[in-house]
Structure formats: C-alpha cells, structure tokens
Homo-oligomer: A and B are copies of this chain.
Amino acid sequence: MKKQVRVLGIDDSPFTFQSKRALLVGVVARLPTYIEGIMRTECDVDGTDANAAIEDMVMRSRYREQLKVIMLDGVAVGGFNVVDIDHLYRTTGIPCATVTRALPNYDDIEDALRTHFKDWKVRLDIIKQHPLYKLGSARHPIYATAVGIGIDDLEIILKECTVVGALPEPLRIAHLISSAMVRGESHGRA
C-alpha cells in the first residue's frame, strides 16, 4: 500500500422508532490505523436520504480529495435507508465499499421490505445490486463488495486497518462513537 492512504468508515447509531433520525458517524483513518478526523451527519430512520446525507458529509469534508475508499457497515443505515454505492461513487468520485460481518438473509430482508415499504422493490434491488465476497480470515470472516476499486485492493486495505476481530478500525471506531452518543456509553457487537 502507498503511504498516507486515507479511508473513511461510516456507521449509524442505534435508534428508536420514536426518534425518527439516526446519527451517522464517519471516521477518517490514515493507514494502518491513525485516526485523523471525524465527521457526522444524520438520516431518516427507514427513509431514502442516506445517499444524499453521506454525499453531503463527504463533499464538504476537508478530507474529500484524499479518501481512497468510503466503507459502510452494510448496505443500509438507519434501518432500511439503503445506500446505493454505485450512485455514491458517481456523485463523490470516491470508490465505495460495504463491509459486514454477517451474511444477510435476502429472503428475510425481502419479507420485511414487502411488509413495510411501498418501494420495497427499489430498496431490495439496491441491497442485492452487488455480490458479496468473503474476505478476512477463517476465524473472522467478513463479507464485502466494492465499486471503483478492485476487491483485491479492498482486501489489502481491510487487512491493513484491522487490529482485532474482523472489523476494520474506522468502522469499529465509528460504531463506538455513534452508539456512545446515543446510549451514553459504547456497546460492542457480538
């Protein structure tokens, strides 16, 4: 990896359906793990503004031109507010990836979407847009996809910024921050 490579990891906060808005936290790390900057925005729980919120947060960031890849923890934030990474890549010019520790069950997701959303087909198509590749180690697998960057290059980046378990540091820290802001103290994920 070149020196001074910077990546952005974004995670959403836990939310109650009363709150209607979810916090999104972005962590900029210079590889391997030096945290350089932090940013925040919000999106509607189960809304359709995730792409716009993330695009706006990234485009007004001072790190905009230095980001090698934007990593999301899964393809949806704030419930089923899905992120179209193809669109995010087009609008920001920055390669985008989703990274998740649990392989999604598309049948369950389709059931949930059909029950709650008129535009369920649009959301499902975005969620299933890209195949997930199994990366990480046998003990700590992680499922990822990317646009604008090869999956091999993504794998190198993930390996470089992962310290413990499967989750790369920018996503791990983004999760700690977003959950602490909402709950008072961060909670890990099993």
Name A residues whose Cβ lies closer than 8 Å to a Cβ of B. 25, 34-35, 37-41, 57, 60-62, 163-164, 173, 176-177, 179-181, 184-186
A179 contact set on B, CB distance < 8 A: 38
Query: What number of copies of this chain does the assembly contain?
Result: 2
Q: Which 4 A-B pairs have the closest CB atoms?
A: A38-B180, A39-B185, A38-B186, A38-B176
User: Chain B's nearest CB lies how many Å from the CB of A62?
Assistant: 7
Evaluate contact between A38 and B177: CB separation under 8 angstroms.
yes
A181 contact set on B, CB distance < 8 A: 40, 181
Evaluate contact between A38 and B163: CB separation under 8 angstroms.
no
A186 contact set on B, CB distance < 8 A: 37-39
User: Chain B's nearest CB lies how many Å from the CB of A39?
Assistant: 4
A185 contact set on B, CB distance < 8 A: 37-40, 60-62
A35 to B172, CA, bound (A): 9
User: Chain B's nearest CB lies how many Å from the CB of A187?
Assistant: 9
User: Chain B's nearest CB lies how many Å from the CB of A141?
Assistant: 22
Kindly report which residue of chain B lies nearest to residue A40, judged by CB atoms.
B180
